[in-house]
Structure 1
Amino acid sequence: MAKALVVIDMQKFMFREEAPAFQSDRLIERVQSLLKQARETGTPIIYIQHNAGEGTPLEYGTTNWEIDDRIGPMDKDIVIHKTTPDSFYQTALQGTLDQMGVNHLMITGIQTEACVDTTTRSAFGKGYEVTVVTDAHSTFDTEDLRAEQIIAHHNKVLRWFAHTKETKDISFEVIR
């Protein structure tokens, strides 16, 4: 079973000092750990990068739009751009996965209730095996809920569509 690590929307805007994602330092550390393990085992790494419209925080080509330097892609990593919460919708993701023979996605990133949730459900609907790394995705507080509540809720709901595991329980097989 070929796996890929999918890192969703870990862009500089999500980690800005005045309003970072919930537990952003821990999130970065956990994603760094997963990236290290994926690279050591030859597991493909796919970064999903959200492109928003002109004048928005994630406007294509701006500094805020760039993938955070602490986890940024290496030359052999794949970067796929999207314009909706679904990383598959009108993107090259499915074709890329099919070409690589990947059938199991390990999902991390931001924003729990939007892009992580939607991509997980979409992948499940397309027949992929999915693992959501429960302590390696994050979001922001809303007027109604704290980020911690949103994350806990989605970790419970996404069990219907994916395996749910913490970073410490994730393993990638060595690809020869």
Structure 2
Amino acid sequence: MNSALVIIDVQKGMFLDEAPVFKGEDLISTLQTLLEKARATGISVIYIQHNAPAGKPLEYGTEAWEIHDDIKPIPKDLVIQKTTPDSFFNTTFESELNNLGIDHLYLAGIQTEACVDTTCRSAFGKGYKVTLISDAHSTWDSGELTAQQIINHHNGVLRWFADVYPSSKVKFEAVEPHQI
């Protein structure tokens, strides 16, 4: 299998002081470790970046829209722009995966019950093998549930669509140089 680490919507606007994402520092630390492991084995790294309309927290082109400084892409990484919770809908994501021969997606990012969930289900429906990294996605408290409850719930429910493992159990397989 040819794999990619997919980091969804980890943008500066998700870490604002007035309403930071749940356990944001832990999330960034986990993503940094995953990025090191992915790059050491040569698997593709793909960032998904949400483009919100004017006046919204992730408004295209604003500082809040930028990918978080502590996990910035390097030149060989791909950055895919999207405008809906589904990373595949009206984007170049699937064609880029096809061009790279990728058939296994390791998913991480924000927001658990929206973009991570939707992309996971969509990838499964398109025939990709999906691994959801259980400690590498996050959200905010809702009116009814805490962020941790939402994360736990989705780690359980998404087992129908993905293998679900913590980052400590994720083993990226090295890619042969001619495949990069």
Give me the whole-angstrom Cα distance separating, in 2, the residues matched to 1:102 and 1:92.
14
Letter in 2 for 1:8: I
Q: 2:87 aligned with 1:68, yes or no?
A: no
Give me the whole-angstrom Cα distance separating, in 1, the residues matched to 2:162 and 2:170.
13
Give me the whole-angstrom Cα distance separating, in 2, the residues matched to 1:32 and 1:43.
15
Number of equivalences: 176
Runs (5+) with no aligned partner, structure 1: none
Correspondence for 1:123: 123
SS in 2 for 1:105: strand
Give me the whole-angstrom Cα distance separating, in 2, the residues matched to 1:41 and 1:17.
35
Give me the whole-angstrom Cα distance separating, in 2, the residues matched to 1:105 and 1:174.
15
Correspondence for 2:26: 26
Give me the whole-angstrom Cα distance separating, in 1, the residues matched to 2:80 and 2:57.
18
Structure 2 counterparts to residues 91-110 of structure 1, below 5 A: 91-110=91-110
Structure 2 counterparts to residues 68-87 of structure 1, below 5 A: 68-87=68-87
Give me the whole-angstrom Cα distance separating, in 2, the residues matched to 1:70 and 1:130.
25
SS in 2 for 1:70: helix
Give me the whole-angstrom Cα distance separating, in 1, the residues matched to 2:42 and 2:69.
21
What's the offset of the Cα at 1:142?
A: 1.1
Letter in 2 for 1:124: F
Report the TM-score, using the length of structure 1 for normalisation: 0.99
Residue by residue over 1:58-107, the C-alpha shift from the partner in whole angstroms, topping out at 9 and shown as x without a partner, is 11000000000001111110000000000000000000000100000000
Letter in 2 for 1:58: L
SS in 2 for 1:85: coil
Correspondence for 2:47: 47
What's the offset of the Cα at 1:164?
A: 0.1
Give me the whole-angstrom Cα distance separating, in 1, the residues matched to 2:4 and 2:27.
19
Correspondence for 1:2: 2
CA RMSD of aligned residues (A): 0.5
Give me the whole-angstrom Cα distance separating, in 1, the residues matched to 2:25 and 2:59.
24
Correspondence for 1:154: 154
Identity %: 58
Give me the whole-angstrom Cα distance separating, in 1, the residues matched to 2:12 and 2:65.
6
What's the offset of the Cα at 1:18?
A: 2.2
Give me the whole-angstrom Cα distance separating, in 2, the residues matched to 1:103 and 1:121.
15
Runs (5+) with no aligned partner, structure 2: none
Letter in 1 for 2:155: N
What's the offset of the Cα at 1:55?
A: 1.1
Q: Which runs of 4+ in 1 moved over 4 A?
A: none
SS in 1 for 2:164: strand
